[in-house]
């Protein structure tokens, strides 16, 4: 708490925010057969059917809550694959997909989410809407982004298996190099030790 006094000493604390990370013991490539061209995980709250329409003709997997979620899109019920009960299942799901499509709302464009880190670590290719937060985290080209229409980006990677595999591998390497819970623990320890030396 800035400005808290204790026996004549002023203690100043500073909030430090670290980017999210993944557990590389849970999220990793397993080289499973690809069941889906594109998956979307999570709660579709606030999304419209227009989000799904561009995916027509692809093998799509929708995961997350049905009641109060994907049930708003009954004509996509054949693509609904259920809720996800645990991280190991989620890892297998990501690994069985060629592309994980991440769509953040406007209020979340300045932050990442666990989908970003877990999907990239699991062997599928993450495609997301353009997020300023990711510009600061990853080098250009690591995360393909779209600004309006995501289908051309998806088609480009689905039609180029070599390019798809190369970018997916780069994503996984980037996560393992800098964005695991062990990296975060090391950074927190360094911050704590730096504070102790002051």
pLDDT tens sequence across 77-111: 999 999 988 999 999 999 999 999 988 655 555 66
State pTM to two decimals: 0.82
Of the ranges 113-117, 160-164, 169-173, which one carries the lowest mean pLDDT score?
113-117
Can you list the domains of the chain with their CATH numbers? 23-47+54-197 (3.40.50.2000)
pLDDT tens sequence across 27-39: 999 989 999 999 9
* Average pLDDT along the chain: 83
Note whether 90 and 23 are within 8 A (CB): no
């Amino acid at each position: 708490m800035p400005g808290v006094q204790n026996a004549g000493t002023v203690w100043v604390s500073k909030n430090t925010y670290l980017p999210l990370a993944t557990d590389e013991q849970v999220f990793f490539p397993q080289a499973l057969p690809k069941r889906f061209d594109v998956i979307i995980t999570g709660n579709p709250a606030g999304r419209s059917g227009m989000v799904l329409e561009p995916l027509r003709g692809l093998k799509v997997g929708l995961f997350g809550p049905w009641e109060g979620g994907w049930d708003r899109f009954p004509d996509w019920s054949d693509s609904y694959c259920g809720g996800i009960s645990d991280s190991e299942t989620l890892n297998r799901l990501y690994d069985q997909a060629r592309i994980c499509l991440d769509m953040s709302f406007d209020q979340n464009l300045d932050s990442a989410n666990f989908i970003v880190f877990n999907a990239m670590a699991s062997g599928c290719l993450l495609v997301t809407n353009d997020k300023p937060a990711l510009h600061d985290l990853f080098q250009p080209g690591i995360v393909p982004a779209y600004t309006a229409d995501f289908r051309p980006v998806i088609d480009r990677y689905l039609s180029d298996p070599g390019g798809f595999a190369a970018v997916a591998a780069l994503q996984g390497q980037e996560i393992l190099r800098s964005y695991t819970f062990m990296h975060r623990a090391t950074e927190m320890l360094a911050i704590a030790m730096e504070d102790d030396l002051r």
